[in-house]
């Protein structure tokens, strides 16, 4: 049995696409630029706020990134207010977390969303009793797919990488888990396709949160990979 689960947030635990799209488009509106679609936003998220806005500005015609710092400042203000706008946990997430918690599994969140907003979203939808560690993007800590944050969380918890499962919904997450050399699980209900998750290194992809229980509680030496649990 694995001792730790480290989860991505957006697209994995919570459906936040509407809140992110709304915040990006309000930013663009305040800057006098056109909006993007929700599907464009789905493709742009995953690498942190700066990359999201870089992709958005290019889509809006600012190829030179001449308004990047302005966009970051406006978005920071907007997203602080609307990071939970129309957001919600995916069906079955809370039940899955309850079961893992009862099994004594160390639970953590690691997101490329800014740290303050990451904590706001987790506190709003999950309270303070599920997660033993919550971390978003912070100065001085490389963002995913760099494995440094995963390894730091494990070190603080006294858990080895062999005892950890990393769970996410994007190519960035699959690279993160593999870079950290931990069991890497993709979720099919998020922002990327099942095919892409396998192509970018998922050991297994699950279609419903309850399936994670079998992955985490499997006896070592009896695991199957690439779609078999």
> In order of start, what are the domains of the chain with their CATH numbers?
4-15+88-217 (3.40.50.1000), 17-82 (1.10.150.240)
pLDDT at res. 229: 38
Distance separating the N- and C-terminal Cα atoms of the chain: 13
CA dihedral angle for residue 126, residue 124, residue 184, residue 152, rounded to 10 degrees:
-100
DSSP element (H, E) containing 143 = none
Question: Would you say residue 84 has pLDDT above 70?
Answer: yes
Mind listing the pLDDT tens digit for each residue in 113-131? 989 999 999 999 999 989 9
Mind listing the pLDDT tens digit for each residue in 102-113? 999 999 999 999
Work out the mean pLDDT of the chain and round it to a whole number.
93
| Inter-residue contact 150 to 106 (CB < 8 Å) | no
pLDDT at res. 228: 41
Range 74-87 average pLDDT: 92
d(CA 84, CA 123): 10
| Nearby residues of 107 by Cβ (< 8 Å), 6 or more positions away | 4, 5, 7, 97, 100, 101, 130, 131, 132
Mind listing the pLDDT tens digit for each residue in 44-80? 998 889 999 999 999 999 999 999 999 999 999 999 8
Q: Which of 39, 44, 48 is nearest to 9 (CA)?
A: 48
pLDDT at res. 220: 54
Give the global pTM.
0.89
For residue 106, which phi and psi values (nearest 5 degrees)? -70, 125
Angle (nearest 5°) at CA 63 between 60 and 66: 95
| Inter-residue contact 141 to 149 (CB < 8 Å) | yes
Helix axis angle, 68-82 to 49-59, nearest 10°? 120
């Amino acid at each position: 049995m694995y001792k730790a689960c480290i989860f991505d947030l957006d697209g994995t635990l919570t459906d936040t696409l509407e809140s992110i799209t709304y915040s990006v488009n309000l930013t663009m509106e305040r800057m006098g630029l056109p909006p993007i679609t929700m599907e464009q936003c789905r493709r742009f998220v995953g690498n942190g706020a700066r990359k999201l806005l870089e992709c958005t500005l290019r889509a809006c015609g600012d190829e030179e990134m001449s308004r990047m710092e302005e966009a970051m400042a406006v978005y920071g203000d907007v997203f602080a207010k609307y990071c939970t706008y129309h957001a919600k946990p995916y069906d079955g997430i809370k039940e899955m977390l309850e079961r893992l918690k009862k099994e004594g599994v160390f639970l953590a969140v690691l997101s490329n969303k800014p740290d303050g907003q990451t904590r706001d979203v987790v506190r709003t939808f999950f309270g303070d009793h599920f997660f033993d560690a919550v971390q978003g993007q912070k100065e001085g800590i490389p963002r995913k797919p760099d494995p440094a944050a995963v390894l730091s969380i494990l070190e603080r918890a006294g858990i080895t990488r062999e005892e950890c499962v990393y769970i996410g919904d994007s190519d960035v997450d699959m690279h993160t888990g593999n870079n950290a050399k931990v069991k890497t699980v993709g979720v099919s209900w998020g922002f990327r396709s099942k095919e892409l998750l396998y192509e970018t290194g998922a050991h297994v992809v699950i279609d419903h949160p309850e399936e994670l229980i079998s992955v985490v509680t499997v006896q070592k030496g009896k695991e199957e990979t690439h779609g078999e649990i």
